[in-house]
């Protein structure tokens, strides 16, 4: 085939411009992404947010450029497209719903990259979000579990049009209030357990009080809310007549909830062991010396 005929074809320029725009945008995206990966001063969660943002911006710029390049050809086949519009809508219903879900999610902004969310009983950290859906790094199983399962879950944007979305990250901040529930029998020494649990939380979470308090102050002013205290607190409940439930609320970094919960429980058990040892030593003291032991 004569190359002159191909070069002089009216569509040749459009194809060439399309390839050029695609290559340029691809390399610019890779260059910016690699630069962010090598940036040691940027937090990992911030890197994920910016990398996803760069990817989505590059896609929309590419899409806009393609439309501009091929606008004349699209106009020439407009009448034909109208004829098949109904069939196209039916065939691409799910894709259209995903686009509508993307627009709805972008306007509502129920979560962002790095947030831990729950959608239709699926929990995980948001890794990626684009025009087709959201990718989660799954956490489970159970609402009280904070361990990664090693699996990723893709949720189409169409799901967000009707699904209930629970965001476990308090207003997108670096700190959240975490709840630890401790179940006891009514016959147990719940007062000692309450004091031990509170002391354990104070010891483990004390390094985070200042930063958590600054975040709560900022969020309270931004959203016109009453500022909650960041010190650990325990709420006592009696779910049944023979049971006592201690609910500990404490401020923790968003990404370390599971690890800090384990540290608090470990410290609690150690304090309880120390209390048992002191009680055993007290029982061994002679009646004459028992009066000298301060209460």
What is the DSSP annotation of 40-62? TTS-HHHHHHHHHHHHHHHHHHH
**Per-residue pLDDT reduced to its tens digit, 234-261:** 999 998 888 999 999 998 887 788 889 9
> Are residues 97 and 160 in contact, defined by beta-carbon separation less than 8 angstroms?
no
CATH of domain 174-283: 3.30.70.100
Domain map (residue ranges) of the chain: 174-283
pLDDT of residue 37: 74
Does this model's pTM top 0.85? My answer is: no
d(CA 187, CA 189) in angstroms, rounded, equals 7
What is the pLDDT, as a whole number, of residue 89? 66
CA–CA dist 123, 149 (Å, integer): 10
Q: What is the pLDDT of residue 51?
A: 79
CA angle 266, 271, 275 (to 5 degrees): 145
Tens digit of each residue's pLDDT (9 = 90 or more) over 110-139: 888 888 888 988 888 888 888 889 999 888
Q: What pLDDT shows up at residue 199?
A: 93
Both tokens of residue 157? 């944007």
Are residues 260 and 253 in contact, defined by beta-carbon separation less than 8 angstroms?
yes
DSSP string of 83-151? HTHHHHHHHTHHHHHHHHHHHHHHHH----TT-EEEETTEEEEEEEE-SSEEEEEEE-SSTT---EEEE
Cis omega (within 30 of 0) for bond into 141: yes
φ, ψ (nearest 5 deg) of residue 175: -130, 145
pLDDT at position 29? 85
What is the structure's pLDDT at 73?
66
Please list the ranges in the chain whose pLDDT falls under 70.
Answer: 1-10, 43-45, 73-90, 141-145, 170-173, 223-225, 282-295
């Amino acid at each position: 085939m004569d190359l002159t005929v191909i070069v002089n074809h009216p569509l040749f320029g459009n194809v060439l411009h399309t390839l050029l725009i695609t290559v340029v945008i691809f390399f610019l995206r890779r260059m910016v992404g690699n630069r962010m990966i090598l940036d040691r001063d940027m937090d990992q969660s911030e890197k994920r947010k910016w990398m996803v943002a760069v990817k989505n911006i590059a896609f929309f710029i590419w899409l806009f450029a393609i439309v501009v390049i091929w606008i004349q050809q699209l106009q020439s086949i407009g009448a034909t497209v109208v004829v098949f519009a109904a069939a196209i809508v039916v065939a691409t219903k799910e894709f259209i719903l995903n686009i509508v879900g993307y627009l709805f999610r972008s306007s509502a902004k129920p979560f962002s990259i790095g947030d831990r969310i729950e959608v239709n009983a699926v929990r995980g950290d948001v890794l990626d979000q684009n025009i087709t859906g959201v990718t989660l790094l799954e956490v489970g199983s159970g609402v009280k579990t904070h361990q990664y399962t090693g699996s990723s879950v893709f949720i189409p944007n169409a799901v967000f049009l009707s699904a209930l979305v629970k965001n476990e990250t308090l207003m997108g901040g670096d700190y959240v209030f975490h709840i630890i529930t401790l179940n006891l029998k009514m016959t147990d020494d719940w007062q000692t357990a309450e004091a031990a649990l509170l002391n354990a939380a104070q010891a483990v979470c004390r390094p985070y009080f200042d930063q958590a308090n600054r975040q709560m102050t900022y969020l309270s002013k931004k959203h016109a809310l009453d500022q909650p205290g960041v010190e650990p607190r325990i709420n006592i409940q009696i779910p049944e007549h023979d049971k006592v439930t201690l609910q500990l609320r404490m401020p923790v970094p968003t990404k370390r909830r599971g690890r800090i919960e384990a540290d608090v429980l470990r410290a609690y058990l150690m304090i309880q062991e120390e209390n048992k040892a002191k009680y055993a030593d007290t029982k061994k003291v002679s009646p004459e010396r028992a009066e000298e032991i301060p209460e």
